[in-house]
Amino acid sequence: MVWPSHTPFTESMTSASTTRRPLDTLTRQPPRRFHLVRHVDVSGVSGTGIVAEGVQWSDNTVTLRWGGPYPTTTVWQDGITALLTIHGHNGATTIRWLDP
């Protein structure tokens, strides 16, 4: 939906299905940075080595930034496990943590 430029955005305009996780119930772990490292390029598209950089947030949501000629940012609400289920290619791609 496109809002007219004269209509200010308010919280009531957000989707009713949006689920917000209260910050006071989180583990209070700081965000952790990582590289997505491809050891074997199964698809022949991304090459090998560091193919993306990411952050795992305190609620386990993951933000992933792909490099290359068409940079893209994706969000994985279900965390690292979901990301690796799709992009791990059965161990051909792994996570290299940059933060403890």
DSSP 8-state secondary structure symbol assigned to residue 3: -
Q: Give the torsion sign (CA, 31, 35, 41, 43).
A: positive
pLDDT at 13: 42
0.85 exceeded by the pTM? no
Q: pLDDT tens across 11-68, in order?
A: 444 444 445 566 665 567 899 999 999 999 988 888 899 999 999 999 999 999 998 8
In 1-100, at which residue ranges do the beta strands (DSSP E only) sit?
32-38, 49-56, 62-66, 72-76, 93-97
**What's the CA gap between 54 and 100, in Å, rounded?**
14
